[in-house]
A and B are shown apart, each in its own frame.
Chain A
Amino acid sequence: MSDLALDVVQQALNGFLFGSSYALIGIGFTMIFGVMEKLNLAFGITALGGAYAALLVFQLTRAPFPLVVLASVAAAGLIGLVVEITCFRWMPGDYPLAALMATVGMLFFVEEVIVHATNGVPRAFPAPLGQAMFDLGPWLLRGDLAFMFLVCLAVMVALWLLVFRTRLGLATRAVSQQPVAAQLCGIGLRRVNAAVFVLTGMVGGVAGALIGSAVGNLSPLLALPLTVKGLVTAVLGGLGSIPGAIVGGLLLGVVEYEALYFFGIGYRDMVTYLLLFAFLVFRPGGLFGSAARR
């Protein structure tokens, strides 16, 4: 195989694998928007906050990695609840812009807390799979990103089971389809909202911990990319569709990496955004959303 062909495939593989991180964070965004039709710009920082909390736990206890992930999940779930209370609970339902702005405020706040606690210095994050590399013929695959891809699938299955096989999931679907009727059936709107935020926060915690481990360092610099990439992924996949978020994230990764290879770093993001822009204009509903969706 020629060098060019080898490289193109390697880039696609790299992009596919790294896209798993976009997918994981996109799942959270898409769930919040899809289920609750609310835009939570503080989701990226919720995931990052969970990771930082987990790092603190690790530094104090030297716990094994699964416990670190658990700590991240718990912390992010808590942050998710705080976001729900401060940014959504008392906001007017017919004016989502107010909640949007409030989440921007939360984003600034949590980021500042992180900056104050760490002085902005990047901190090493435990990465047990950090050096795992597999050979696939002439190509290299990163083990930790492959693991992240598997986790995406597992999260998707877990969320599917939750939404379609549990009472909470039933309540969530009812609230998202017909909030008034759902209340009339005795479903507590506030409790369901809070539960969804905690749940998506927990998904964010998984994302934060795994991304932190893949990057190797946590830094406040991660806040903006997590937010922007997560949003883009959710939009690409079709808001509300979890399989869409996964496919969207992987697609975004592949596009980015091929753009980097062919156009260089100065144009990588430009090409990616141009394609995104074009995609949105021609298929505004996203990959798995309906074409005429709002």
Chain B
Amino acid sequence: MDFYVSLLTLFGFRILLGLSAYVVILTGQISLAQAGFYALGAYSAGAATALWGWPIVPAILLGAVVGGFFGFLVGFPALRVRGLFLVIATLAFTEIVRMVFLNLKYTIRVGDRTIGPAAGEGFRGITYYFEHGWSGLHILGFTWLFVAAVLLGLWLMDRSRAGAVLRAVGEDELAASSVGINLTAAKVSAMTLGGFVAGMAGALYAHYASYVSQEDFGVLLATFAIAYALVGGTGSVLGPVAGVLFFSLLIDGLRFLGDWRNLLFGVLIVAMMNLRPHGLVDAGLVRRLVGLRRRASAGA
């Protein structure tokens, strides 16, 4: 039971990470910077509770705001580069963030423990949950409060003009700008929002794991962030959710295969992209489901 609770909690962070990549992909930008925002959120929220004694909710929000701030900073230079160049530039950002944490050392003694970011050794002692006696269920509920809020927020945004604007920019920039959409505003907002959500995810993860280290926040994590969005599909906010389910089922559901699990992992990704290139929940599926609902309600 405890295991499934912790698994669902993990889903929460991954879904947030996938959503942060999704928001940016909507505007046609492939960003590997989400892992960097995640790391920034993790370290700042961890420092808030473990080093400065903040309560948990402001700490998580701090992580999100820090992520969003850096998203804003990255958003502007990102305007100048496209496609593969953007991939490389955002990869560079994630690596720079990782290296900053590889070198950052700021520890204090609390009682008999040394806690704080300790360069290569990592940041240990983010034990807010355990010090306050939170059970697995508490942590799950708390995490999913944020996840649900973000899902709802992004879903509402998708149905509003803002969502249409972002998708328009992603589809065809020239056409979008010719109807008066401010490309800069759209793309930078998307990156900021992506950074905000990723920072939040990182903040929640840091408290779950109680220890973070720069090696957790590299290219692999960045790749998974876009994988959740690409394999899951960008048709709706449920896309990254489907993507996370796909990968998590792969990792945990296939555990009984033992050694062969890892081999199958890559194969299934290739197979999935061949079968559904636009992802599990792509625009076509969304349209069909909406059409079904409309027909059903029209019929009734």
Contacts and interface: CB of A to CB of B under 8 A. Distances in A.
A and B touch in the complex (CB under 8 A): yes
Interface stretch (A51-59, A86-94, A137-145): A86-94
Contact of B99 (A108, A267, A277, A280): A267
Interface stretch (A98-106, A126-134, A154-162, A180-188): A98-106
B270 interface: yes
Given A116-B259, A235-B84, A276 B92 contact: yes
Interface in B190-246: 219, 223, 226-227, 230-231
Interface residues of A, number: 45
A197 B48 CA distance: 50
A112 B262 contact: yes
Contact of A106 (B103, B259, B266): B266
B82 interface: yes
A69 interface: no
B266 A110 contact: yes
A91 to B, nearest CB: 6
B89 A281 contact: yes
B257 interface: no
B84 A102 contact: no
Contacts, number: 128
Interface string B85-103: 1011101110110011011
A281 B266 contact: no
A294 B82 contact: yes
A274 B96 contact: yes
Interface residues of B, number: 42
A273 interface: yes
B81 A270 contact: no
A101 B263 contact: no
A33 interface: yes
Interface stretch (A73-81, A208-216, A224-232): A224-232
Contact of A101 (B93, B103, B269): B269
A97 interface: yes
A264 to B, nearest CB: 9
A109 B153 CA distance: 37
A280 B100 contact: no
Contacts of A107: 266
Nearest to A97: B230
Interface in B45-96: 77, 80-85, 87-89, 91-93, 95-96
A98 B273 CA distance: 6
A84 B83 CA distance: 20
Interface string A37-49: 0010000000000
A169 to B, nearest CB: 23
Interface string B103-127: 1000000000000000100000000
The 6 closest A-B CB pairs, nearest first, are A109-B266, A105-B269, A98-B277, A108-B266, A102-B273, A105-B270
